[in-house]
Amino acid sequence: MDGEGFSRRKFMKITGSGIVAVTAGPQLTLASEQSLREAAKEHVARESGADMDDLEIVNEAMASWSTLKERYYHAKVYDVSEREIHGALLDGEKNPIDRDALHEREREAYRAKYGKLDRKLYERIADADDDETFEVGIWLEGIDYSAAREAVGFDLKPDTPELRRQLSDEYLDRIGRKTEAFAETIRGHEGVTVLATDRGSTFVEAEVTATALDAVEQYGEVRKIFHIDREIRLELEDTTKTHRTYWDNEGSFNASGYPVGQGETKPDSTYYVNIRGTNWTRDYSDPDNDTSGHSQAVMECMASWDDDHPGTGHNADVYHADEILVDFDNKMEWFYDNFVCAVNFSWGVGDRDRTMGKWDFRFGQQAYHRYLNMVKSAGNIGDSNDDGEPDKFDVTSPGLGFNTTTVGNTDNKNNSNWSDDEIAGGSAYESPYSRHADPTYDDFPHTKPEVSAVGKGNELPSGGNPSGTSVAAPGVTGMYAVLSSLCDGYGVYDVRFYPSVAKAIMMAAARNDAGSFDDKMGAGTISAWAAEDIIADETYLEDDFQESNTSQTYSADLSSGAEVRVALTWLTNVENSEFSDNKDAQSDLDLDLNVVDPDGTTVEGSWNYDRGYEFLKFTTSTSGTFEFEVDNFRWDAAETSRNIGLAWHAQ
């Protein structure tokens, strides 16, 4: 059966029943999964001239265009002989579908039904009075990225942190001028009050009446308009169990001089009465502010200087901004200006329905334009909707987004043995909706979280043993500071300015010795020791992948019997992504990863669809030079190149 050739890959089942509903003409029809697979290979053989015996389906899914209510069979077909990846998008009668034409029909259908409003905002204003007001985020079309790169000579100079900073400043300047110009235009409209303009993303916040919203929609530069949610839910629970600290787990890694950021809500100061404040943070609004409660617990796990209970990023400076969703862009600018290694967000916002929204996109664009490592707690199971029913294990926003490192919670059983670690009860892992992920079925790979950290009963220096993904996420944020410290220690470039590289190292260095995580905890639990190995041995790289290339190949010398973990990551620019309904969200690139042994045989691969990374692990059966081949399956980006990060760890 297709998929068995790569034993470690989780071959996706469509339904598990052998029969699937696929669009055929104006309606759905039932089709045999196996007949669709054969048709996909036949299509690729005709188009490419490949031998049918050399073709293997390495991934498959039902791809949805939600507004049209159409779904098609989509297969990734690998030519083993030529080491090439092909796609086949078929309807229920096994006819190939023109993807570009389908996108255009979906776009027209969405505009006809919702205009430029996000579906949720459209439903919210359906029964509103003309003068009823709403806080909205107006998402504008993107800037000219090629012109920005040309302005700083980015493609003509060596890629250095200093040059990246120049490019980021150029992005921010162009976005700022664009959003401010649009804000000035709509300020003259009756019923419109501009609240804020962004520089890190092409968003303008405004308060508008239902009538004025119609006028704002008409501007050509408006891409989509969202309702703004600012109500934050904390993702911290309480427990009496005490576990080993990050220090006990990983040793004496020090992040002094490498700052991290903390974006918080403003909880009641008595939320955790057993956690006292300290004075080692730099606060956005008050440099002498003494934080407490949820903020204090998170920051101690991230950067505590206490020698008995140190944080992961031991002794790092913490820049703390409260009420983060108010004046959001200026606070992100503050983090950027202070060169933080990563920013932590241990809370959730918005509906918990697995659909990406404005905060997921807006946070992701901060990573894209400011080269910030954005870290988010995955969320805990609970009753966040107050409907009397417990949530499923749905990851919370803004952790659904492509460019955010989302973190699950590991229970390490209060010992130093990694082999009995397991998922902490309540740690969220359900994937967001995307074009190829239909929550009707649960057979598709889990794309969130990317990694996990110990977050069950961490003993704090100020007292208390909080649990939850809220205290797991800062473990990863602190680890990003450790990565920068290690880079300087080994005399290599600082990966804080290369989010794709930093995330790839984090994932390749993660451990899953127990084998019990499956992919529900991402690549595994973070390990500073393994990260140090990667940086010391320089088993990582950054490169620009060119749109014109079908593949780019990188080499690694490996010994026989090594267990190897490989991560490929890239940043998504959602301004380029081809989706109308947020339920169909997908990265603007689809890159795949294959491992080829010294004999030229493909031994493993990761061929996912919608997310911004690929991850795999394999055991070498021979020594020699292996190749990591990155394939270009889909390119919707406006830019002609995109920076990628690749990291591998062998043990």
Where helices occur in 261-383 by DSSP H, the ranges are 293-303, 328-337, 358-370
Which of 80, 109, 138 is the last residue in one of the domains?
A: 109
Whether residue 189 is contained in a domain is answered as yes
Same domain, residue pair 332 and 348:
yes
Same domain, residue pair 547 and 622:
yes
Q: Is the dihedral of CA 620, 622, 628, 633 positive or negative?
A: negative
Same domain, residue pair 288 and 394:
yes
Largest distance between two CA atoms of the chain: 72
- Encoded tokens for 437: 């992920």
Report mean pLDDT in 10-residue bins for the chain, 651 residues.
Answer: 37 60 90 93 97 94 93 95 95 95 95 94 90 94 95 93 95 97 95 96 95 94 92 54 37 82 64 29 49 74 78 85 89 94 92 89 95 94 58 86 94 79 85 78 70 82 80 93 95 94 97 71 90 96 96 97 97 87 92 97 94 95 98 94 97 88
pTM of the predicted model as reported, rounded to 2 decimal places? 0.91
Same domain, residue pair 49 and 154:
no
pLDDT at 127: 86
Beta bridge partners of 348: 233
* CA count, 13 A, side-chain hemisphere, 82: 19
Same domain, residue pair 100 and 219:
no
576 phi, psi to nearest 5 deg: -95, -15
For residues 528 and 622, the answer to whether their CB atoms sit within 8 Å is no
pLDDT at 278: 33
Whether residue 456 is contained in a domain is answered as yes
Angstrom distance (rounded) from CA 531 to CA 201: 31
Whether residue 642 is contained in a domain is answered as yes
Same domain, residue pair 105 and 186:
no
Domain carrying residue 638: 536-650
CATH number of the domain that 299 lies in? 3.40.50.200
* Total of domains in the chain: 4
Which of 529, 545, 571 is the last residue in one of the domains?
A: 529
Same domain, residue pair 449 and 579:
no
pLDDT at 479: 93
Burial 373-405 (b: 16+ CB within 10 A, else e): bbbbbbbbbbebeeeeeebebbbbbbbbbbbbb
- The distance from CA 206 to its chain's CA centroid, rounded to whole angstroms, is 27
Whether residue 75 is contained in a domain is answered as yes
Angle of helix 161-186 relative to helix 358-370, nearest 10 degrees, comes to 140
According to DSSP, the β-strands at 624-635 and 551-558 are: antiparallel
Whether residue 9 is contained in a domain is answered as no
Whether residue 586 is contained in a domain is answered as yes
Same domain, residue pair 98 and 35:
yes
* CA count, 13 A, side-chain hemisphere, 93: 6
- Encoded tokens for 78: 């690998």
Angstrom distance (rounded) from CA 295 to CA 133: 33
Same domain, residue pair 491 and 583:
no
pLDDT at 273: 24
Whether residue 510 is contained in a domain is answered as yes
Which of 529, 547, 577 is the last residue in one of the domains?
A: 529
Same domain, residue pair 197 and 256:
no
Where helices occur in 92-144 by DSSP H, the ranges are 99-114, 119-125
Whether residue 13 is contained in a domain is answered as no
Same domain, residue pair 516 and 566:
no
Same domain, residue pair 306 and 349:
yes
Q: What is the DSSP letter of 611?
A: S
Residue with tokens 């299509």: 43
pLDDT at 546: 96
pLDDT at 237: 43
* CA count, 13 A, side-chain hemisphere, 105: 12
pLDDT at 517: 55
Angstrom distance (rounded) from CA 390 to CA 202: 36
CATH number of the domain that 147 lies in? 3.30.70.80
According to DSSP, the β-strands at 374-377 and 343-345 are: parallel
CATH number of the domain that 550 lies in? 2.60.120.380
